[in-house]
Structure 1
Amino acid sequence: MSTHAQNADFEEIGKFTRLADEWWDKNGAFKSLHDINPLRLNWIEDCVKEHFGTGLGGKKVLDVGCGGGILSHSMAVRGANVLGADLGDANLQAAKIYADKTSMSDVLDFRCVPVEVLAAEQAEQYDVVTCMEMLEHVPDPSAIVQACFDLLKPNGVCILSTLNRNKKSYLFAIVGAEYILRLVDKGTHDWHKFITPAELDTMATHAGFKRADMTGLHYNPLTRHYWLSNRNVDVNYMMAFVKP
């Protein structure tokens, strides 16, 4: 088995592929991803616009760990030319079917390929690389971050999101989200694999990135309202980086 193939937890991949038929059911297993997608999308576009002066329109974008293509599809709708990469073939089939159904196949494609392999094939080919809620599911997240750096053109933008590791994130992301509110299935996350902002920043700096911005994602279970705030990154957070 290759080193690249080893940087994948196939038990983790299986958790999502078993639910592949539900990716585009906005009230199904991936409801929370559909709910937060507009916030993520707008923050990504704001970061891209801040850096380039223009938004996603016309940009060549790679979405790493794209799953069923929720974010990939929305970035294509904003005018980007998007490739989604994932190791769950059933997820990608769901993504392709939805892209065909919505007539987005001309600007939206998907590949079942390790990102490290893609980096060797397509170094410095992308204006923007996103990797959302994936790093906490792989054995070596630093290798994914390095591949994202390698795939970006010089002056490109990378957006990464993951979960912080502390007592609050255990209470909110494991106990609250999986067992009490049932926002995601039980066993979706392993708290020990969560990544602190300092750890992610170190990985990115080692890869060659410069950090540009950071924000936290928050949820009120009473009002069922999601929002972003850069004052608090205790649980879910996103970081934007630039390749010099």
Structure 2
Amino acid sequence: MFSNKFCRLLSRLYSRKPAAVAGTTQNLSSWTAAWKHRSARVRTLRLAVPVHISARAASQTTVDTEELRRFQKLASKWWDEQGEFAALHAMNDLRVPFIRDSLLNVHMKRQPGKPLAGLKILDVGCGGGLLTEPLARLGAVVLGIDPVEDSIGTARLHSSCDPDLRGRVRYRACTLEELSAEEEEEGGDGEQGAGLFDAIVASEVVEHLADRETFALCSSCMLKPGGSLFITTINKTNLSYALGIVVAEQLLRIVPRGTHDWEKFVSPVDLERLLESNGFSVQSVQGMLYNPASGAWSWTNSTAINYALHAVKERDDLRPEAAEDEEEHSRATSS
């Protein structure tokens, strides 16, 4: 009975209109307009940060040993759709179309039944392959990496049961920085070379990392110019603490207790600033909402709890400085 009452309370919270985003004007007609306004402010701040950062800056590991131990205990449970990862299974209803449609908009390629055919995707922190497999079924060649060897073992075992995935899915027990360092040593000519991937996916990963700067830098190194980075994560707000930790972990036990550390959560503005300082241009950010009563996810205008982000690695000829020079030249010629 307590659970039903709590779910009704959550439903009322979900149905409320999102509060105005701090720093945006009140007369913005939509969340998208607000985001564009906020993005312009972030780009202004970015001008003080060098776009190119040497790989030597990635001196730390992204792996938190406590997180590693936690996920090691859960490595055999990835494909239990009613277990600890039930919410991640349900999230595929949103994140797979989000990735697919964004990539189709960028690459303008369509092949009936296999819309992502010809694309190479890196799934960072793939766990048991919950997102790796559906992306491969859409035609992409996907490499899933995770530092937990037992999770990779689970992923390999599960994918081996589906002949449609043969030749499209591979897994490695390693970190993103290890993969990037291998490529540096090979001088850019290796199988997983820098600039090899059309897209990198990091879903429910960045809130578990020890060093997001290293993650952003290595992601940029591993993507082709114009390649896409997809992130789903949790905002750092009072509401995300209340619902993501107190409710989800302690009361409703949707995820195991201790799964999340609120101090590691990151706001869309801070994440955009980090990515743009590493050569990315953020294309879209959209709020996501999980309903524990129905076990389903939905899109929402509010990013107060969960959100999905799509960023594109800028091409050399589209760096901010070049764009500014072009804009300044355009103003001069039109005046």
Identify which of 245, 250, 256 aligns with 1:179.
250
Identify which of 22, 46, 49 aligns with 2:104.
49
Higher CA-based Rg: 2
Measured in 2, the distance between the counterparts of 1:72 and 1:144 equals 19
Measured in 1, the distance between the counterparts of 2:294 and 2:75 equals 29
Measured in 2, the distance between the counterparts of 1:48 and 1:235 equals 25
- Equivalent pairs counted in the alignment come to 241
Measured in 1, the distance between the counterparts of 2:289 and 2:208 equals 21
Residue 85 (structure 2) aligns with: 30
Tell me the amino acid that sits aligned with residue 242 of structure 1: V
So what's the TM-score if we normalise by structure 2? 0.69
Secondary structure of residue in 1 paired with 2:253: coil
Ranges in structure 2 where 5+ consecutive residues have no aligned partner? 1-57, 110-114, 184-192, 315-335
Is 1:117 aligned with 2:178? yes
Identify which of 222, 239, 243 aligns with 2:309.
239
Tell me the amino acid that sits aligned with residue 151 of structure 2: N
Deviation of 1:117 after TM superposition, in Å, equals: 2.1
Measured in 2, the distance between the counterparts of 1:74 and 1:28 equals 19
> Would you tell me which structure has more strand in proportion to its own residues?
1
Range that drifts further, 53-62 or 165-174: 53-62
Tell me the amino acid that sits aligned with residue 119 of structure 1: S
Identify which of 294, 298, 301 aligns with 1:227.
298
Q: Which residues in structure 2 correspond to 1:1-244 (within 5 Å)?
A: 6-54=61-109, 55-103=115-163, 104-120=165-181, 121=183, 122-229=193-300, 231-244=301-314
Rate the CA distance shift 1:16–1:4 in 2: closer, same or farther, 3 A.
Answer: farther
Deviation of 1:5 after TM superposition, in Å, equals: 6.9
CA RMSD of aligned residues (A): 1.4
Secondary structure of residue in 2 paired with 1:159: strand
Identity %: 34
So what's the TM-score if we normalise by structure 1? 0.94
Alignment deviations for residues 81-130 of structure 1 (CA, whole Å, 9 cap, x no partner): 00001100000000000110112231100111120121231210001111
Measured in 2, the distance between the counterparts of 1:238 and 1:172 equals 17
Deviation of 1:198 after TM superposition, in Å, equals: 0.9
